[in-house]
Amino acid sequence: MIKGVIKKGAYFDSVTLMIVSKDLNKIEGVADSSVVMGTNENKSILKMAELYIDMFDDADDTDMLIAIDAENDEAFNKAVDFIEKELDAIRNSSDDTSDFAPKSFESALKLMPDANLSLISVAGKYAVAEVNKALNANLNVMLFSDNISVEDELKMKQKAVEKGLLMMGPDCGTAIINEIPLAFANVVNKGNIGIVAASGTGLQEVSSIITNLGGGISQAIGTGGRDVKKEIGGIMFIEALKALEKDEQTKVICLISKPPHPEVLDKIASEIKKLKKQVVAIFIGADEKTVSASGAIPAVNLEQAAVISVALAEGKDYKEALNELNARQEKNKTLAKELAKNNKGKYIRGLYSGGTLCDEAQLLLKDTIGYTYSNTPLNDDYQLSDIWKSQEHTIIDLGEDEFTAGRPHPMIDFSLRNRRVVDEAKDTDTAVILLDVVLGYGSNLSPEKEFAPVFEEAKKINPNVAIICSVTGTDKDPQNRAKVKQTLENAGAIVMNTNVEAVELAESIVSFL
């Protein structure tokens, strides 16, 4: 039976609700569940997940919806009690200080009159008003909220430019400002590489690789993915470029995005030509010649962007650094040949939580084994007919709406991906199971504990299947990258340093089959 509860006016941001609700399905008698705010988009998601009930019709953006698919009333009541206790604990939690917790923007500003940045995460319906409050108070803004119209985004960004401020977002999930990780970000070294990114996971991967190579970040500015589209015109991408050019701590600027609209790329290129600092650009899937014409040094993948940036920041020849990557690829072919010896499978099955990393994997494989099937394919001819079942080589993004409908994001809740790992292992055609593990604030705090028993089960089912992981993060992250890596390796996985290296190894294995 599916039953629900509406909590009127009980607002919590989506990250809090995802974290709190991820253990709901572990309660005995609960088959499925969802805890979301009552936005129209979330109502649609509940309908997709078959968890919608008529009582939700009149709920609005500030109402919290709890939907439970339970075996009986006892299980339903246990689940509701659990979520209420968890949310009460968060609502009543306090830190180790006796600091006053402001209840409004105005009281917060009185408490911190020197503040120059506001992070906003409220229902999209109210976000525009809060952004305008912050901009009117001459604060830069990071807007985590989504469900903002393109028209409102444009107006807010134009206003920010007029006032000489940054307006990151909407739907900006990652930034690192003055060594402070914001939202889904990693703990990185302080350094002289500045990043502008219209991709959250891309920013995480590049900033983490830079740190793991011994480099460091001055600032990492997220813009929100729509910024480089024609409608917005790259306004904040260009303003961030200008800010990094003026920043004394920044020596090298790294740009990360999917290909901007051609008109937007022309604007960005014109701005790059004015800069005195060296610029590295990875516009994922874009033509290298187009990037070169902009005056930037092109990278063909996220790892290259990080490697080139570190070499330039250290005053070294980046071409030598790229040669080392090529040498590594040859070395990994020896490992691939060994892993292919007794492998009876044929195909790569990629199970990604990061959309940018999923796109990157497909692009890398396109040049070697061709297009891969996906729920987000590069070629529409390779759209999966059934997202729950792989076809030949398959690379899927489990963070897309069809998989997260009524569920927490796979960076937080591993249950769906864990089931898929076991299912792929049971398929005798599976040669490689390819995964990303994204660490940092907001992500699952113990990914190794979630994955290790599943990997061990998969290896028992299919001893010769190759489970290959990349870990996006650093040893300074709350999860500790080194600890995660070691535990996963002990469970039978092959852990590579980057998504690129993991994909290269996977491709090399199937080339020997």
pLDDT digit string, tens, across residues 249-268? 999 999 999 889 999 999 99
Domains and CATH numbers, the chain: 2-92 (3.30.1360), 102-171 (3.40.50.720), 173-316 (3.40.50.261), 328-511 (3.40.50.261)
The alpha carbon of residue 102 and the mean position of all alpha carbons in its chain are separated, in whole angstroms, by 30
Q: What are 138-172's pLDDT values in tens digits?
A: 999 999 988 899 999 999 999 999 999 999 999 99
Q: Which two tokens stand for residue 119?
A: 């992070």
Q: What gap in Å lies between CA 264 and CA 422, rounded to an integer?
A: 44
H helices of 137-261, in order, are 150-162, 200-212, 235-246
The alpha carbon of residue 265 and the mean position of all alpha carbons in its chain are separated, in whole angstroms, by 23
Query: Three-state secondary structure along 417-436?
Result: HHHHHHHHHHCCCEEEEEEE
Q: What is the mean pLDDT of each run of 10 residues along the chain (513 residues)?
A: 92 78 84 87 82 92 91 93 88 61 87 94 88 97 91 97 96 93 95 96 97 98 96 97 96 95 92 95 86 90 97 95 87 92 96 95 95 96 94 95 74 89 96 97 92 96 97 97 97 97 97 94
Which residues fall within 8 angstroms of residue 466, CB to CB, at 6 or more apart?
Answer: 339, 343, 431, 432, 433, 494, 506, 509
CA angle at residue 419 from 418 to 421, to 5 degrees? 65
H helices of 61-123, in order, are 73-92, 105-111
Residue of 65, 40, 61, 63 whose CA lies nearest to 53: 65
Contact 250/192 with Cβ under 8 angstroms?
yes
User: Where in 211-363 does DSSP place strands (E)?
Assistant: 217-222, 252-257, 278-283, 297-298, 347-352
What is this structure's pTM?
Answer: 0.86
H helices of 341-436, in order, are 355-366, 401-404, 415-426
SS3 content of the chain, % helix, strand, coil (to 5): 45, 20, 35
Query: What DSSP element (H or E) covers 337?
Result: helix 318-340
